[in-house]
Amino acid sequence: DAEITQSPRHKITETGRQVTLACHQTWNHNNMFWYRQDLGHGLRLIHYSYGVQDTNKGEVSDGYSVSRSNTEDLPLTLESAASSQTSVYFCATATSGRAGEQFFGPGTRLTVL
């Protein structure tokens, strides 16, 4: 069965360190998204990609970057982790032909000390 995997599932890091969260999908979807979820804010879009070599900033992109070198993967990098980036991060995918129906991964809980 097609799926989305995220790794690691839990990560503790220190302020100032670079962290990369992995997202891998076997749906063969063109569209991939990264969200963070915090209490009181719901899901907020960080970055998204409509295909290989395409990346776009979301509403909370500062301090984050992504790259899309193939269809399956969209790694999210925190260039210099800050305590404000402690959150649960979700990767999602969607087909090009069905706007809005997204498939989510299991999430990564990141703690920045």
Partner 1 sequence: GESVGLHLPTLSVQEGDNSIINCAYSNSASDYFIWYKQESGKGPQFIIDIRSNMDKRQGQRVTVLLNKTVKHLSLQIAATQPGDSAVYFCAENSTGGSYIPTFGRGTSLIVHP
Contacting positions for partner 1 (CB under 8 A): 4, 31, 33, 40-43, 45, 48, 50, 58, 90, 92, 94, 96, 99-107
Q: Is the Cβ of residue 31 or residue 85 nearer to partner 1 in the bound state? A: 31
Calpha distance 45→42 (Å, rounded): 10
Q: Minimum CB separation from partner 1 for residue 91, in Å?
A: 8
CA distance 93 to 85: 22
Q: What is the DSSP letter of 73?
A: B
Q: Given the structure tokens 């969200």, which residue do they identify?
A: 35
| Smaller CB separation from partner 1, 37 or 79 | 37
Separation CA 112–CA 12 (nearest Å): 6
| Shortest Cβ 80–partner 1 spacing (Å) | 27
